Amino acid sequence: MKKKWRDLKNQVLGKNYDLSAVFVENAKMKELNRRYRKKEIAANVLSFNLSEKEGEILINKKFEKEKARADYLFMHSVLHLKGFKHGKAMEREEKKLIKNFNINFKI
């Protein structure tokens, strides 16, 4: 995991949280989104809490070369793993993290 992502994960989830992050092909993201979210489109990102101290983030491979977008999707997923739902509170946290971690992405 790259340093920025590790530091972000440590700030939000703590150093003892074991997190894996992988890029996944578009077709597989569609299959997983159908299975777990009952949606018929390829997800940009999926996050899974595996236990209280362990999780996994899957990012659509089409964003692998878009550094700012991949950073944003990782950050967004980390907040979901922390328990945030879409809404004002999550947006406030995203804005703080975008500034603190110099993520060049507009939400």
pLDDT value at residue 106: 76
| CATH of region 3-100, choose from 3.30.565.10, 3.40.50.1460, 3.40.390.30, 3.30.360.10 | 3.40.390.30
| Strand pairing category for 45-51 and 54-60 | antiparallel
pLDDT digits (tens, 9 = 90+) for 40-93: 999 999 999 999 999 999 999 999 999 999 999 999 999 999 999 999 999 999
Q: Where are the domains of the chain?
A: 3-100
Chain centroid, CA 101 distance in Å: 14
- CB-based contacts of 37: which residues, under 8 Å, 6+ apart? 43, 46
Give the C-alpha separation, 76 to 86, whole Å. Answer: 9
Residue 75 has a pLDDT of 97
What pTM does this model have?
A: 0.92
The pLDDT value given to residue 2: 85
